[in-house]
Structure 1
Amino acid sequence: MRRVLLFLPLAVVIGLGFFLWRGLYLNPKELPSALIGKPVPQFELPWLEKPGQTLTQEALKGKVSLLNIWATWCPSCRTEHPFLMELAHRRGIPIYGVDYKDEVPAANRWLSDLGNPYVANVVDDKGSLGLDLGVYGAPETFIIDKRGVIRYRHAGPLNDAIWKRDLLPVFQQLQGE
């Protein structure tokens, strides 16, 4: 019995080592989403740019658009922001923002200082919409079709290479539908 107990810690360490080793080969950008093909979850949240007003998921219907989860506390969001500005202002891509678990004054300063690529932003200070979307963290971007259905999800910051390789083909296909 004592011999078995001596090898128990070794077995635990080997088991943990296997799972950690396996984790090295997982791609964190390929996080599955159970919401692909389903409507954007229902929400009614404050509109960042228009205090006192709210937005709902209905605002996302009518044209193919991006839904971008962002926050001022997120360093990757700052890296992504110039590309979002280019998408919105040079390429005419409609982007809706979800200011995720953030403070309204900080978000307004951010947009004032760095520019606003968003058609509209909702304030998700408690993270309820983020939770319903299955967000792991910011930034994350969803492609929403004309009917308000989630068609693609990207975790992490966007850049031109990722846009052209992963999102643009889906975006163009949905625009043609």
Structure 2
Amino acid sequence: MSDAPRTGSVMRWLPLAVVGLLGLLLAAGLWLARNPDREALPSPLIGKPAPTFELPVLHEPGRLMSSEELKGTPYLLNVWGSWCPECRVEHPVLTRFAETRRVHVIGYNWKDEHADAMRWLEQFGNPYWVVLVDHDSTAALDWGIYGAPETFLVDADGIVRWKHVGAVDQATVDTELVPLLDALGIAPAEPR
């Protein structure tokens, strides 16, 4: 008895199975993209040392800033880009939070053109203590950044304490960020 008819039957259904599997993967991706709970995805960095980096400073393109320079200072790292609509939504909230000087708010300008980033800050204001630039995702993979906006809280010991995916709104600041700062005993940062 030959296996040829059975093999032919399997081969006939194989393309349909592949298309079905791809359809399921696409549906899962769309669900994750639209599911508001995606912001609650845990980060593997929470409770671990922040990734090291050495990135250019937006306003001083010849200068590099390293993670070593931030040791001993808690900071909020906010991933943004001029191309990001949600970054515009959260910008006034970050500006108000930065004015409290609880921690340094550091901008992480991602995949952006220098002129576009500068124009965006001129138009909407600059709440950041410093803006780091990552045009080619040099450090993004280490941080687990897969979109903008994303925001990380790093304590004075260099440990990642919090990550928020999506736009930070006032409720997030009031119910998550400020209570965490209080719990960690993080006092306002020194003036610029």
Q: What band does the TM-score fall into relative to the shorter chain?
A: 0.7 to 0.9
Q: CA deviation at 1:61?
A: 2.3
Aligned to 2:160: 150
Matched positions, count = 176
Would you say 1:48 and 2:66 are equivalent positions?
Answer: no
Q: With the length of structure 2 as denominator, give the TM-score of the two structures.
A: 0.78
In the alignment, the residues of structure 2 paired with residue 22 and residue 129 of structure 1 have an alpha-carbon distance, to the nearest angstrom, of: 27
SS in 1 for 2:45: coil
1:1-177 matches, cutoff 5 A: 27-89=37-99, 91-93=100-102, 94-175=104-185
Amino acid at match of 2:169: N
Q: CA deviation at 1:130?
A: 1.4
In the alignment, the residues of structure 1 paired with residue 72 and residue 115 of structure 2 have an alpha-carbon distance, to the nearest angstrom, of: 30
Spell out structure 1 runs of 4+ moving beyond 6 A.
1-23
Q: Which runs of 5+ in 2 are unaligned?
A: 188-192
Q: CA deviation at 1:172?
A: 1.6
In the alignment, the residues of structure 1 paired with residue 133 and residue 186 of structure 2 have an alpha-carbon distance, to the nearest angstrom, of: 31
Q: CA deviation at 1:45?
A: 0.9
Q: Which has the larger radius of gyration?
A: 2
RMSD over aligned CA atoms reads 2.5
Q: CA deviation at 1:171?
A: 1.6
Q: Which runs of 5+ in 1 are unaligned?
A: none
SS in 2 for 1:28: helix
Q: CA deviation at 1:71?
A: 0.5
Aligned to 2:190: none
SS in 1 for 2:39: coil
CA contact (8 A) 1:58 1:148 kept: no
| Residues 92-145 of structure 1 deviation map (CA, whole Å, 9 limit, x = unaligned) | 132011101111111111111111111111110001211110012000000110
